[in-house]
C-alpha cells in the first residue's frame, strides 16, 4: 500500500469521481434531511428552518413511540425466525458434498434475485382465506374428518361443523412472515460463509474427545461461527425496519410500522420536517444496532467473519 | 503375536471413495504398548486407514477390532482411542487449560479430578507455565503439545497421530522425535503414527507397516524392513538402494545363483517368503550403498566385484555418496564414511575404482 | 464382525447433510421458499379475473399486459435505468476499490465508513433524502426521455457503486503485488500496468459487481418509489400500484416477466463468470 503522496496524480484521478458522487448525491441529501428535521411547514410547499426540536418531540410521542417499538419488535422476531431456520440450512449447505453445494446455493439465491415486492405479493396467494395454506389445512381437515367418520365418531363433530379458515392475512402474523420470506437468503449467506470457513478438524477433535454432536455444536461450532450470525442479523434487521411495502401489502389497519409512517409524511400527509425527524430517528436506531454489533464482536476476539 | 493379544486388529479393511479405492483389503495386528508407524508416500491410504481407526471413516468392507471389541461402526466419540490431528485442531476460543480439560468435562468428570488430571497432563508435556494462554499466543510446537496433552489426559488405549512432525522445523522435529518415544514409554500405551518420512518411522517405531497404493506391502521391525525388504517398493522407499535386473541361473539348497549383467554370477540367499525359484526366473538384485566398498587396486577374494569410474561425489560431512559409472554401463552408488580427518577428498571424480560387496549382503527381490 | 459387502458408503460423523432430519428441514424450507413464486407464475395463466380459484389456462393476461402501454413504458424504463446504472456504478465501484486498495491516507477509516453508509442505511431513509434533495435543488422534472430518468439513475448509482466496490475489493485481496512489480520491472508505466495486469485479474470481480448493480437496480422498489414521478414509472413501482388497485392475473403476468428477465440476466452473467469458478454473488457485509 502506498502513501498517497507517492503518486498524487493517480490518487486524485481514482478518487474524485466516486467521492464526488458520494458527497453530492448521498451525503448532501442526508444532510438536507437532517436540516429539514429542524424545520417547520409554512404553507403547502415552503419549509422554514427554524432549528426547532418540535418534530423530534412529536416523534417521541407515545403514539409514534409505540409504532417504533412495534417495528423493532416485529423486525426482531422475524430476524430470530430467520436465524433459527437459517442455521440448519447453512449447516446443510456447508456439509453437503461439493456438487450439491453449488446446486443448493443456487437454489437459495434464485428467490433472492426475484424482486422483493413480487415475492411479498406472492405471499398473498399463500396466506389469504382462500389461499394455499388454508386449502392445505382444509384438505387435511377433510381427511381427518373422514377418518373420524370412518371409525364411527362422525356425529360428534369433534373438529367442528366445517373447516374454519385461519385468518393469516392482513395482520401482524402476515407481516412477520413477509419479512422472514423477504430477507431469509440474506441471513443464510453470511452464516454459510462462516461455517464453511470453520476448520472441520476442530469438530472432529471434539467428537474424538468424546463429545456428542449437540455438545460439539454448542462448545465448538457456535462460539466460532456466531460472527456470521451477527452479520446475518444486521443484514436482516435493518432493512426489515424500513420495509414499508410489507405492512402495506400484507398488513391490516393495526400493522403499521415506522416505514409506513415515514412514507405517509413524504407523500400523502406532506409533512416533510416530521418525516425527516422520523427518518433520522430510524437512522440512529440503525447506527445503534451497528455499534452494538461492533461492541459485541470486538469484546470476544475469535475468528473474523 | 496372536490375534487375541493384539490391541488393534485390522481385518480385511477396504475403503472406497467414489471410484477410487483408498484402502485395499488391509489386514494387520498391533500389539499393546507398541509404537507403530504407518509409512508410505502421499495418497497411499495411510491417513484414511488412521481415520478409520479413529472412527471418522467407516470401511466399506472388513472389520476393526479394538481391545477385543468390534468397533468398525462405532462413532468416534465412543471409542477408547484419541487422535492428534495434523493441524493440531486446538480450539482457538479456549485457553490451554480448557482445551486439555474439554474431554474430561464432556465425560462429566468432577471439577477436582479435572484439576488434578489436567495438571498432570500439562506437567507431562511441559506446558505447566502456559495454562491460561490462548492458542494464538502459542508456537506451533506448543500447540502440538496441547493437542497431545488433551488426548492423553483421557487415558485412551491407543493414541493416533497424523503426521505429527511434518509442520515442525528440522531442529524441533528431531527433539520431538525423541520426546514422543519417551512419552510413549512413560505413559505405556500404544501409539500409532502416520508419516511419509521414512527416517521418522525408522527412528521412532517398534514396527512399521509400509503402504503403497492402498495396500500394505510389508509389516516388520525397522531393521527387518531395511535389511530384508520383501519387494522393490519397500527396498526403494526405505533408504537408498542399488537395484539391478538379473536372472536365476541355478539353485543349490538355500542358495541361489543369479546372473547379473556387468556383475557376473552372484551367489546369494533366497528371496524372503519365496520358496520356489527355478532357473530362468527374472529377479531384482539389490545391495545397500553402505555395504559397497571402494578399492583402487585389488579386490579381496569371495566378494562381488565390478570396475568403473567415479562420476559424482556428494559430500555430506560425516559421509560421502559416491556414484560410480561401471564399465558395463550401469551405475552404482557407495556410501563412504569420512573417517580420516582431512580437508582433501578421499576420492575424486574421474578416478578409476573397483567396487565390491559381500555376496551375503545381496538382496533378491521377486516383486 | 462385519466382513460382508456394504451397499452405499456408510454415513460419516460429519456428513450432516446425509441425515434424514436435516434433509427434511432443507426440503421443507426450499418448498416454502419456492411455493409462493411457483403459484404466482402458475396463476398468471389463470383464466379468472379475481384470480382466486383456478379456472383455466390462458395467455390473455399476458396479451393484456403486452398491450398495456403504461406497463410497457415502465418495463422499458426499468431496463434503461438498470443498464445505465450498471455502466456508471461499475466504473465508480472499480475506481474506489482500486483507490482504497492502493493508497494510505489520513482519515482513511472515516472515508471507508462513509463508503459503507449506502449499503448499511435503511433504504427508506435514502429514498426520502433523495426525494427531498431533488425537490430542493429544483431538478428539472420535464425532460425528454431518457433524461427524465436521470434523478432515478443518479439515486441508483449512489446506492449501487459501494456494493460494486465491496465485491471488487474482495477480489483485490487475492492479488499478488509482485505481478505489478514484475510489470514495472519490465518497463510498463502506472496506467499500462493497471490496464494490462490489474484489470484483467479483476474481470470476474467486475462482472460480479456489474451483475449486482444490474439486479439491485432492476429490483429496487423503495428508493425508486420516492424518486420516480408520474411520467417515470419503473416496473416494480407500477406493479405496486397495480396490486393496490386489484389483484388480477395481469399483475402476475407482469411479475412473471420481471422474474424471467432477472433470472435470465443473472444466469447469463454467471455463465460469463463461471470459467474462473467464482461463487454466485450476494451482498457481503
| CATH homologous superfamily, domain A61-128+168-299 | MetI-like (1.10.3720.10)
pLDDT for the residue numbered A249: 84
Please, are residues C125 and A36 in contact by the beta-carbon 8 Å criterion? no
Residue B13: CB partners within 8 Å, gap ≥ 6? B23, B25, B26, B27, B49, B52, B59, B61, B62, B63, B64
Tell me the pLDDT of chain B averaged across its residues.
89
What average pLDDT does this structure show over B40-52?
93
Could you report the per-residue pLDDT of B216-231, keeping only the tens digit for each? 999 999 999 999 998 8
Tell me, what's the pLDDT at A272? 87
Cβ-based neighbour number of residue B350 at 10 Å: 8
pLDDT number for residue C274: 60
Distance from CA of C13 to the nearest CA of B (A): 6
Q: Chain C residues with CB inside 8 Å of A1's CB?
A: 101-104
Q: What is the DSSP string of A73-112?
A: HHHHHHHHHHHHHHHHHHHHHHTS-HHHHHHHHHHHHHHH
Cβ separation B55–C5 shorter than 8 A: no
The total of other beta-carbon atoms located within 10 Å of residue A136's CB is 11
In a domain, C203, yes or no: yes
Q: Hunting for cell 451525503 — which residue is that?
A: A27
User: Per-residue confidence of chain C (285 residues) as pLDDT tens digits?
Assistant: 444 445 566 677 777 777 888 889 999 999 888 988 888 888 888 777 766 677 778 888 888 878 888 888 888 888 899 999 999 999 999 999 998 988 888 888 889 888 988 988 888 999 999 998 988 888 877 777 777 788 899 999 999 999 899 888 888 887 887 887 888 787 777 778 888 888 888 888 888 888 888 888 888 888 998 988 777 888 888 888 888 777 678 888 888 887 888 788 777 777 776 654 444 443 333
Q: Do A18 and C105 touch (CB under 8 A)?
A: no
The CA–CA distances, whole Å, from A219 to A89, A216, B80 equal 20, 5, 21
Question: How many other β-carbons are positioned within 10 Å of the β-carbon of residue A285?
Answer: 20
With 50 as the cut, is the pLDDT of residue A117 above it?
A: yes
Is the CB of C223 inside 8 Å of chain A's CB atoms? Answer: no
Q: Which residues of B touch A206 (CB under 8 A)?
A: 91, 102
Side by side, the strands of the sheet bearing B81-84 are B81-84, B158-162, B190-195, B35-39, B207-212, B215-220
Give the residue-averaged pLDDT of A288-294: 84
Q: Please give the pLDDT value at position C74.
A: 85
Q: Check residue B257 and give its pLDDT.
A: 84
Question: Closest by alpha carbon to A2, among C181, C238, C85?
Answer: C181
Domain ranges of chain B: 3-235, 240-365
Task: Tell me the per-residue pLDDT of B237-251, one tens digit each, with 9 for 90 and over.
Answer: 998 899 988 888 887
C-beta of residue B149 within 8 angstroms of C-beta of residue B124: yes
Indicate yes or no: CB of A126 within 8 angstroms of CB of C35. Answer: yes
Answer positive or negative: Cα dihedral of B97, B101, B103, B105: negative
- Interface contact A243-C222, CB threshold 8 A: yes
Q: Which pLDDT value is given to residue A20? A: 93
- From A105, which residue of chain C is nearest by alpha-carbon distance? C280
The structure's pTM equals: 0.77
- Give the 3-state secondary structure of C59-107: CHHHHHHHHCHHHHHHHHHHHHHHHHHHHHHHHHHHHHHHHHHHEECCC
Q: Is A277 helix (H, G, I), strand (E, B) or coil?
A: helix
**Mutation for testing the A interface, residue in C74, C125, C268 having most A CBs under 10 Å:** C125
**A168 vs A247, higher pLDDT:** A247
pLDDT of residue C238: 83
Return the C-alpha cell found at A296.
Answer: 459485541
Residues contacting A86, CB < 8 A, separation 6+: A184, A187, A188, A191, A232
> Which chain B residues touch C12 with a CB distance below 8 Å?
56-58
Q: Does B69 touch chain C (CB under 8 A)?
A: no
Is residue C247, in this structure, part of any structural domain at all?
yes
Instruction: Flag if B102 and A302 touch (Cβ within 8 Å).
Output: no
Residues of B in contact with C5 (CB under 8 A): 60-61
Cis peptide, bond prior to residue A12, ω within 30 of zero: no
The arrangement of secondary structure in B3-235, i.e. its CATH architecture, is 3-Layer(aba) Sandwich (3.40)
Asked if residue C244 belongs to a domain, the reply is yes
Q: Which of B12, B57, B75 sits opposite C3 (nearest CB)?
A: B12
What residues contact A215, with CB distance under 8 A and at least 6 apart? Answer: A206, B106
Q: How many domains does chain C have?
A: 1
> Using 50, 70 and 90 to split pLDDT, how confident is the model at A151?
confident
In this structure, the number of other CB atoms found within 10 A of the CB of residue B280 comes to: 8
Q: Are C46 and C55 in contact (CB under 8 A)?
A: yes
Contact A115, C37 (CB under 8 A): no
Distance CA B338, CA A15 (A): 68
Rounded alpha-carbon distances, angstroms, from residue A260 to A119, A127, A266, B167, B172: 19, 22, 10, 60, 67
Q: Are C183 and C196 in contact (CB under 8 A)?
A: yes
Q: Is C8 within 8 Å of chain B by CB?
A: no
Handedness of CA A103, A107, A109, A113 (dihedral sign): positive
Distance CA A100, CA A93 (A): 8
pLDDT tens track for A90-107: 989 888 888 888 888 888
Does A2 sit within 8 Å of C104, measured CB to CB? yes
Residue B98: partners with Cβ closer than 8 Å, 6 or more residues away: B91
- Check residue B3 and give its pLDDT: 56
Residue C150 domain-assigned (yes or no): yes
Taking a C-beta distance cutoff of 8 angstroms, is the pair B219, B28 a contact? yes
Residues A45-88 have pLDDT tens digits of 777 778 888 888 888 888 888 888 888 888 899 999 999 999 99
Place of cell 489426559: B153
Query: pLDDT tens for residues B126-141?
Result: 888 889 999 999 998 8
What residue segments make up the domains of chain A, in order of their start?
61-128+168-299
Structural domain includes residue C11: no
pLDDT for res C12: 76
Please give the pLDDT value at position A300: 46
Residue-level pLDDT at B323: 94
* Cell numbers found for residue B58: 467407516
What CATH topology corresponds to B240-365? OB fold (Dihydrolipoamide Acetyltransferase, E2P) (2.40.50)
Q: Is it true that B3-235 and B240-365 share their CATH fold?
A: no
C-alpha cell at B126: 511441559
Give the pLDDT confidence score for residue B271 in this predicted structure.
67
**C24-C28-C30 Cα angle (round to 5):** 115
Name the residue of chain B whose CA is nearest to C9's CA: B60
Sequence length of chain C is 285
CA dist B69 and A62 (Å) reads 71
Distance in Å, alpha carbon of A194 to nearest chain B alpha carbon = 15
Q: How far apart are CA B109 and CA C14, in angstroms?
A: 26
- For position B62, what pLDDT does the model report? 93
Q: Is B282 exposed, middle or buried (0-12, 13-18, 19+ CB in 10 A)?
A: exposed
Pairing of strands B190-195, B158-162: parallel
Question: CA A235, C32, A129 angle in degrees (round to 5)?
Answer: 110
Q: Which chain C residues touch A111 with a CB distance below 8 Å?
A: 33-34, 37
Q: pLDDT band at A299, cuts 50/70/90?
A: low
Nearest-angstrom CA–CA distance, B211 and B192: 14
**Residues 3-22 in A contacting C (C-alpha not used; CB under 8 Å):** 3-4, 7, 10-11, 14-15, 17-18, 21-22
In this prediction, residue B272 carries a pLDDT of 62
Q: Identify all chain C residues contacting B58, using CB atoms and an 8 Å cutoff.
A: 9-12
Contacting B with CB below 8 Å, chain A residues are 199, 201-202, 204-212, 215, 219-220, 223-224, 300, 302-303
Report yes or no: A75 and A255 within 8 Å, Cβ to Cβ: no
User: Counting Cβ atoms within 10 Å, is residue B245 exposed (0-12), middle (13-18) or buried (19+)?
Assistant: exposed
Compute the distance between CA of residue C9 and CA of residue A134 in angstroms, rounded to an integer.
42
Which is nearest to B162 in space by CA: C54, C123, C191, A208?
Answer: A208
Cell 505489478 locates to C180
- Establish if C161 belongs to a structural domain: yes
Distance CA B271, CA B256 (A): 9
- Count contacts between B and C (CB, < 8 Å): 36
pLDDT for residue A304: 33
pLDDT digits (tens, 9 = 90+) for A160-219: 666 677 777 778 888 888 999 988 888 888 888 888 888 899 999 999 999 988 999 999
In a domain, C206, yes or no: yes
In this prediction, residue B332 carries a pLDDT of 92
Average pLDDT taken over every residue of chain A: 83
| Closest residue by Cα to residue B220 from B356, B29, B69, B364 | B29
Query: Whose CA is closest to C95, among C149, C172, C26?
Result: C172
Predicted pLDDT at C4: 47
Lowest mean pLDDT among A108-122, A269-283, B17-31: A108-122
Amino acid at each position: 500500500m502506498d502513501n498517497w503522496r507517492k503518486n498524487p496524480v493517480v490518487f486524485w484521478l481514482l478518487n474524485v469521481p466516486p467521492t464526488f458522487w458520494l458527497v453530492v448525491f448521498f451525503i448532501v441529501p442526508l444532510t438536507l434531511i437532517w436540516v429539514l428535521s429542524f424545520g417547520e411547514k409554512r404553507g403547502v410547499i415552503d419549509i422554514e428552518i427554524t432549528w426547532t426540536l418540535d418534530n423530534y418531540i412529536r416523534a417521541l410521542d407515545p403514539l409514534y413511540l409505540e409504532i417504533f417499538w412495534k417495528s423493532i419488535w416485529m423486525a426482531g422476531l422475524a430476524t430470530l425466525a430467520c436465524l433459527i431456520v437459517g442455521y440448519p440450512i447453512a449447516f446443510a449447505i456447508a456439509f453437503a458434498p461439493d456438487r450439491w453445494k453449488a446446486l443448493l446455493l443456487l437454489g437459495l439465491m434464485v428467490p433472492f434475485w426475484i424482486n422483493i415486492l413480487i415475492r411479498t405479493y406472492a405471499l398473498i396467494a399463500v396466506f389469504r382465506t382462500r389461499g394455499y395454506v388454508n386449502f392445505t389445512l382444509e384438505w387435511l381437515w377433510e381427511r381427518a374428518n373422514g377418518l373420524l367418520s370412518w371409525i364411527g365418531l362422525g356425529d360428534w363433530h369433534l373438529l367442528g361443523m366445517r373447516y374454519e379458515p385461519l385468518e393469516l392475512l392482513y395482520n401482524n402474523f402476515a407481516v412477520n412472515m413477509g419479512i422472514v420470506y423477504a430477507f431469509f437468503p440474506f441471513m443464510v449467506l453470511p452464516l454459510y460463509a462462516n461455517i464453511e470457513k470453520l476448520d472441520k478438524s476442530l469438530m472432529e477433535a471434539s467428537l474424538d474427545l468424546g463429545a456428542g454432536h449437540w455438545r460439539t455444536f454448542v462448545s465448538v461450532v457456535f462460539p466460532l461461527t456466531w460472527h456470521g450470525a451477527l452479520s446475518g442479523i444486521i443484514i436482516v434487521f435493518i432493512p426489515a425496519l424500513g420495509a414499508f411495502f410489507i405492512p402495506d401489502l400484507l398488513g391490516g389497519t393495526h400493522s403499521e410500522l415506522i416505514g409506513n409512517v415515514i412514507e405517509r409524511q413524504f407523500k400523502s400527509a406532506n409533512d416533510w420536517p416530521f418525516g425527516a425527524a422520523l427518518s433520522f430517528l430510524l437512522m440512529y436506531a440503525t447506527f445503534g444496532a451497528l455499534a452494538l454489533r461492533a461492541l459485541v464482536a470486538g469484546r470476544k476476539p475469535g475468528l473474523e467473519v | 503375536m496372536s490375534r487375541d493379544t493384539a490391541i488393534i486388529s485390522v481385518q480385511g479393511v477396504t475403503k472406497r471413495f467414489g471410484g477410487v479405492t483408498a484402502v485395499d483389503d488391509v489386514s494387520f495386528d498391533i500389539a499393546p504398548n507398541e509404537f507403530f508407524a504407518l509409512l508410505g508416500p502421499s495418497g497411499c491410504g495411510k491417513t484414511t486407514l488412521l481415520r478409520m481407526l479413529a472412527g471418522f471413516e467407516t470401511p466399506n468392507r472388513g472389520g476393526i477390532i479394538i481391545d477385543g471389541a468390534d468397533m468398525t461402526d462405532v462413532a468416534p466419540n465412543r471409542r477408547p482411542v484419541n487422535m492428534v490431528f495434523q493441524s493440531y485442531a486446538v480450539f482457538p476460543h479456549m485457553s490451554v487449560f480448557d482445551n486439555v480439560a474439554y474431554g474430561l468435562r464432556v465425560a462429566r468428570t468432577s471439577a477436582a479430578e479435572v484439576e488434578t488430571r489436567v495438571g498432570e497432563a500439562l506437567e507431562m508435556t511441559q506446558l505447566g507455565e502456559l495454562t491460561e494462554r490462548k492458542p494464538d499466543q502459542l508456537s506451533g510446537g506448543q500447540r502440538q503439545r496441547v493437542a497431545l496433552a488433551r488426548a492423553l489426559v483421557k487415558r485412551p488405549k491407543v493414541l493416533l497421530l497424523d503426521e505429527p512432525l511434518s509442520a515442525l522445523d528440522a531442529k524441533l522435529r528431531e527433539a520431538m522425535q525423541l520426546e514422543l518415544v519417551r512419552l510413549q514409554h512413560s505413559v505405556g500405551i500404544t501409539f500409532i503414527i502416520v508419516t511419509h518420512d521414512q527416517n521418522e518411522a525408522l527412528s521412532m517405531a517398534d514396527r512399521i507397516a509400509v503402504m503403497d497404493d492402498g495396500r500394505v506391502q510389508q509389516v516388520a521391525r525397522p531393521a527387518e524392513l531395511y535389511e530384508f525388504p520383501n519387494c522393490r517398493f519397500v527396498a526403494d522407499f526405505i533408504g537408498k538402494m542399488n537395484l539391478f535386473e538379473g536372472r536365476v541361473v541355478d539353485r543349490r539348497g538355500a542358495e541361489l545363483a543369479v546372473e547379473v549383467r556387468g556383475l557376473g554370477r552372484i551367489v546369494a540367499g533366497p528371496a524372503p517368503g519365496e520358496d520356489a525359484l527355478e532357473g530362468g526366473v527374472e529377479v531384482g538384485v539389490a545391495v545397500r550403498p553402505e555395504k559397497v566398498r571402494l578399492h583402487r587396486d585389488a579386490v579381496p577374494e569371495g566378494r562381488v566385484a565390478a570396475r568403473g569410474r567415479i562420476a559424482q561425489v556428494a559430500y555430506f560431512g560425516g559421509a560421502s555418496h559416491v556414484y560410480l559409472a561401471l564399465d558395463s554401463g550401469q551405475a552404482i552408488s557407495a556410501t563412504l564414511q569420512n573417517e580420516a580427518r582431512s580437508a582433501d577428498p578421499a576420492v575424486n571424480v574421474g578416478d578409476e575404482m573397483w567396487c565390491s560387496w559381500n555376496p551375503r549382503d545381496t538382496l533378491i527381490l521377486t516383486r | 464382525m462385519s466382513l460382508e459387502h456394504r451397499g452405499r458408503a456408510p454415513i460419516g460423523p460429519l456428513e450432516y447433510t446425509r441425515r434424514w432430519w436435516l434433509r427434511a428441514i432443507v426440503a421443507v424450507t426450499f418448498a416454502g421458499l419456492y411455493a409462493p413464486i411457483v403459484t404466482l407464475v402458475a396463476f398468471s395463466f389463470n383464466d379468472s379475473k379475481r384470480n382466486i380459484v383456478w379456472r383455466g389456462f390462458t395467455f390473455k393476461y399476458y396479451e393484456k399486459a403486452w398491450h398495456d402501454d403504461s406497463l410497457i413504458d415502465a418495463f422499458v424504463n426499468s431496463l434503461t435505468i438498470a443498464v445505465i446504472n450498471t455502466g456508471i456504478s461499475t466504473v465508480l465501484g472499480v475506481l474506489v476499490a482500486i483507490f482504497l486498495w492502493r493508497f494510505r491516507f489520513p482519515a482513511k477509516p472515516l472515508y471507508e465508513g462513509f463508503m459503507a453508509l449506502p449499503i448499511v442505511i435503511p433504504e427508506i431513509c435514502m429514498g426520502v433524502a433523495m426525494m427531498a434533495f431533488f425537490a430542493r435543488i429544483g431538478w428539472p422534472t420535464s425532460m425528454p426521455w431518457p433524461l427524465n430518468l436521470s434523478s432515478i439513475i443518479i439515486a441508483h448509482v449512489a446506492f449501487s457503486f459501494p456494493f460494486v466496490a465491496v465485491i471488487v475489493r474482495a477480489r483485490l485481496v487475492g492479488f499478488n503485488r509482485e505481478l505489478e512489480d514484475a510489470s514495472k520491472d519490465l518497463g510498463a508505466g502506472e496506467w499500462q500496468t493497471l490496464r494490462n495486469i490489474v484489470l484483467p485479474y479483476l474481470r470476474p470481480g467486475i462482472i460480479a459487481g456489474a451483475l449486482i448493480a444490474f439486479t439491485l437496480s432492476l429490483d429496487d422498489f423503495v428508493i425508486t418509489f420516492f424518486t420516480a414521478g408520474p411520467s417515470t414509472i419503473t416496473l416494480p413501482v407500477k406493479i405496486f400500484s397495480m396490486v393496490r388497485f386489484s389483484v388480477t392475473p395481469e399483475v402476475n403476468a407482469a411479475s412473471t416477466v420481471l422474474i424471467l428477465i432477472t433470472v435470465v440476466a443473472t444466469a447469463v452473467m454467471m455463465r460469463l463468470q463461471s470459467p474462473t469458478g467464482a461463487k454466485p454473488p450476494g451482498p457481503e457485509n
